[in-house]
Amino acid sequence: MTEKDLIELGFERSEDQTPEMTGCDYTYHYYTLDFGDDIYDRWCLISNSSDEAGKDGWDVRIFSSDVFIFTNRYQLEKLIEVLKYNVVTDEQSR
């Protein structure tokens, strides 16, 4: 998967993570896509970092989980469609 794919699928680029911020020897960034309105009940897809993607290509995981990994744009796009279609809004939860 490419960085362009992530952008086209609606992922947002993080700010650059600098050595001063992270303690790493290099600067990198990553992408996220959030689902849900509630800050405490949000589901997030997160990419690997740009330095990792430079070696192995971009992939996406569910935040805080290593159970699923998506490397295929088509499969990730279908997952995003299902999630967006089924997000419970604040009005629905009342």
The residue range of the domain holding 27 is 3-85
Report the pLDDT value the prediction gives residue 90, as an integer from 0 to 100.
61
| Tally of domains in the chain | 1
For 7-77, list the strands marked E by DSSP: 12-13, 31-35, 43-47, 60-62, 69-70
pLDDT digits (tens, 9 = 90+) for 2-18: 999 999 999 999 999 98
> CA 40 to CA 33: how far, in whole Å?
15
Query: Is 21 part of any domain?
Result: yes
Report the pLDDT value the prediction gives residue 41, as an integer from 0 to 100.
72
Report the pLDDT value the prediction gives residue 88, as an integer from 0 to 100.
73
pLDDT at 68 over 80: yes
40 falls in which pLDDT band (50, 70, 90)? low
pLDDT at 53 over 60: yes
Query: Is 55 part of any domain?
Result: yes
56 falls in which pLDDT band (50, 70, 90)? confident
